[in-house]
Amino acid sequence: MFEVDQVTALLGWCVVINIALLSFTAIVILLFKEQVVGIHMRLFRIERGALERLYFNWLGHYKLINVVFFLVPYIALKIIT
């Protein structure tokens, strides 16, 4: 089995990697919005307004999932050790 310190370290690295991925995705969407929207409009046949809402929803859900499943357990384990 894993030790508490190992699980804490794993969750900490998960938080770091997910924050980096979230930041990278947000930056790509901000800097290359026209290209990204164009590709997704052609692939999925979705209107521009709907795509922008989907991007915002996806980023928000991704952040929420990471907070709930990685950051909160990491903080809880840091508190108890």
Over residues 17-73, the pLDDT tens digits come to: 999 999 999 999 999 999 999 999 999 999 999 999 999 999 999 999 999 999 999
- pLDDT value of residue 48: 96
- pLDDT value of residue 15: 98
Name the nearest CA neighbour of 55 among 14, 19, 22, 16. Answer: 22
Spell 1-31 as b/e; 16+ CB within 10 A means b: eeeeeeebeebbebbeebeeeeeeeeeebee
Alpha-helical (H) ranges within the chain are: 4-31, 33-44, 48-66, 72-80
Which pTM was predicted? 0.88
Write the DSSP symbol of residue 32: T
Name the nearest CA neighbour of 12 among 76, 63, 60. Answer: 76
- pLDDT value of residue 8: 98
